[in-house]
Structure 1
Amino acid sequence: QSGSYTYPLDGKIFNGKKDDFITSNDNELDYSHLIYKPTESKMVVISKQKVGYVERLAALSFFFLVFIIFSLVLYGLIWLIKNLDDERVGWFSINRSLMINANKILYKTRIQVSIVLSVVATLLIVGWVTYYYMNNEYRGQQTISIKDKIRKVQQNYEKQVFSKGIVEDEDAVADFVNFADVNNVDLNLYSTQGNLLMTTYPKLYNSKVIGRKMGPMAYTYLDKLKRSEYINPDEKIGDLTYAAAYAPIRNAHNKTIAYIGLPNYSNEEEYSDKIALFVSNLINIYALVFVAVGVLAVFLANQITSPLTFIQESISRTRIGQRNEPIVWRRHDE
């Protein structure tokens, strides 16, 4: 089994047929299944979570928004080609054409553009603030999590070497790797001089991707400043940035005999995945809101400018020398 779907132990619920592909739906968990049964004793089930109507509408709105942006860019290029005078091409000509066309924009259109731009500006500000908050919140949770991990690892490893101390042989390396597997972490063990003793990733050091010396800041904080731990949120291997925690290992006489390091290589990948998912969802939601606001702006602009449209139509029917009907306005406003 692989994936997040919880499968039943009894496969009869899928009703598979030999040498045939069958589809079924789990309406309770919103999953669809593709079932294939190569033999009577084997069954392969591929499951996929269904996409809701809101997600589909958001994706459609996103493509519609892209189409609008493309249309605006294309319209701008066509306008530039048509309005630029070949004999006087320059900023003056462009500015003159813009002023002429700006004066031709209807009051209704100006209201629509103002509403849309106001909402878009608000959404951008809210999106940036949300991203900034999520970034700080994730970094804070990451620091708390890695602090908790390094403290537990420090205490458990001190118990393991409490009486024997640290021995550098194959059995000790195997025990160290097993200890890291039990705690589900990656670990490095350094001497009091900052030299690497043991690691769960020997290939990185044997291939000289990482130096065998402890980080200078971590060594300074633990050895010179005598701190109980050190967290480096921006440790680097080339372009890879990850968080790492360090702590001293003490023996039965409360003497520091080594330093243990916990590099969290997967944290940046997790962070990138979360941010990518957040930005993707935000773009889809904003695209849907943008389309809804565009429709609302057209409706509001028509409602606001309806008195002007009514007066315009009434005045256009006025004829000099003829009997004209008075303009009747039943509202008590301007």
Structure 2
Amino acid sequence: MVKQQLDSALRGSVTDLSDKLDALEARYPLDPALAYSYACSALHEINSLARELELAGHSRAEIVMMFARIRRTMASSPLGFHMQNWPSGYHGDFGAVEYIASGVNRAQADTFAFSLEQAMLHSGIVQQHRYKLHCQSEAYLRAFGEHAFRPRILSVGCGGCRDLLPLLCVLRHFEGELVLNDIDAAALVFASERLRPATQHFRTVCANITSVVRLLRQEGRFDLIVAGGLFDYIPDRLLRHVLKGMYRDLLAPGGAMLFTNIDEGNPFRPLMTYAVDWELIERSREAIRALCEESSIPAECVEFEREESQLTWIVRLRK
């Protein structure tokens, strides 16, 4: 009986929140500061309600069905729509990274969708992407300095190379080799168009993560390998194989590798799972360290740092 009462109360809360969001959409224009506050509050309410439903034993399919009206409101934001539909066919596509990194609100002004999108663009889970990109940019700069602008660099899952955008002026002096890898041919075209005005010292390899290790292992070693947030989407069994191959076969002695991973206990996970469709593989520091050990990477060669939002691990490997 108690469980039934709790379930009824939670379903009522879903209806109440759905009604509130519908009313906010209908009431525009509102005072901008008030509208933004309502939007931030809505994201937190969605997140907490989704978690309560999980704890009550509801399946993913059940929660998504109950959230139908909430998901419709989220999709009124172009960013929310993108993260529900993933037009490139995979989660975390380069279009989303470009969207997030730009920080530009593309929703129609004077609508609740605009306030909702602004709240999403200001959220910690979005901010951590920008912080990660900054760390990746710093890794490139460090390699340029250490190798007199002639390093051999591999960017795996490079997307549109947003992490190189702040370095275009510096890249004019680059005389090494930059190998850009992604599974998405459109991302590589976008990246090439972005970099070509600054440097011709790059080439693209369109292949999945396992194939790129096999294809490049005969071509010489890299002074820097950057994997960004790619490992958020790679299961443990495959990641062990990838880490071992990259560290053993692709990274030069004295070289560095940087990758990131969302930490265990991501507080935005319920919102990401049920209001949109963005699922990440969370890993604790201990889990990442164990994967590195199982990939024959010495513990003393692994360094951890959190980016500024404290949601994601920045992992640096030295050889």
Larger Rg: 1
TM-score scaled to structure 2, two decimals?
A: 0.24
TM-score scaled to structure 1, two decimals?
A: 0.23
